[in-house]
Amino acid sequence: MAIPASDIQFAGSIPALYDEYLVPMIFEPYAAELAARVAALAPSRVLETAAGTGVVTRAMARALPAGAELIATDLNQPMLDRAAATGTPRPVHWQQADAMQLPFEDASFDVVVCQFGAMFFPDRAAAYAQARRVLRPGGVFLFDVWDRIEDNEFADVATQALAELFPSDPPRFLVRVPHGYHDRQVIERDLANAGFAANPGFETVAARSRAASAHAAAFAYCEGTPLRNEIEARSGSFAEATAVCEAAIARRFGTGPVDSKIQAHIVTARR
């Protein structure tokens, strides 16, 4: 199924809001996990695809030795601009690039890493084939994807709340894209079609998602992701949509600081 253009548009105010609200709420725990796994491989040259606003990039910049070269790419230049403006504790090369058409030579990286980006690739097997092409023999492709939405509670509650606000045409971005690519057999098939060997590593990792308030959690999803584009397309008010999600999250998790389950799969494929 083709991915609508609005599902991969991270522009306007989204990069800043994404970085400020969503990154600490759901991405940072897995960023530290991926960075530790990359560092354990002792690579000399690392490529990151779909780097977004750089949460994994920053974690790898801290975890990798000074001599390791780190190149971080993303399709959306505004996301990279935000990442570069935030900065890293060591030099990183930021480069706009399409994961399905990587502008790098064959066999030029020890590790290719991608956090929560595979769900956005229009042709995942093609993107994986590109990752394999640029890996050196024995190199590792390491990525993670979100598990089903029912195991990611804030996202699930927000989606159900928006379905009540827009009953005739409920926004389904969170189900369709971030939480729409979790089936192990599908992922293994796509990797096999890209030329990776059978039986990649596949580990399900649960973590906790924390926000300062129900409002912060609701705001992160409604205005810091392409869900915002769906709300706008329905002539909806961001304030109203956020308020509806906030109320639903507060009913489930309380009115103070909130805490919920998140869950993802970490996949390791070797060239």
Q: Return the bridge partners of 207, or none.
A: 262
pLDDT tens per residue, the chain (271 residues)?
Answer: 456 554 455 546 677 888 888 899 999 999 999 999 999 999 999 999 999 999 999 999 999 998 999 999 999 999 899 999 999 988 999 999 999 999 999 999 999 999 999 999 999 999 999 999 999 999 999 999 999 999 999 999 999 999 999 999 999 999 999 999 999 999 999 999 999 987 899 999 999 999 999 999 999 999 888 898 899 888 878 899 999 999 999 999 998 999 999 999 999 999 9
pTM comes to: 0.92
Give the residue extent of every domain in the chain: 5-270
Helix (H) and strand (E) counts for the chain? Answer: 11, 7
Task: Domain 5-270: give its CATH superfamily.
Answer: Vaccinia Virus protein VP39 (3.40.50.150)
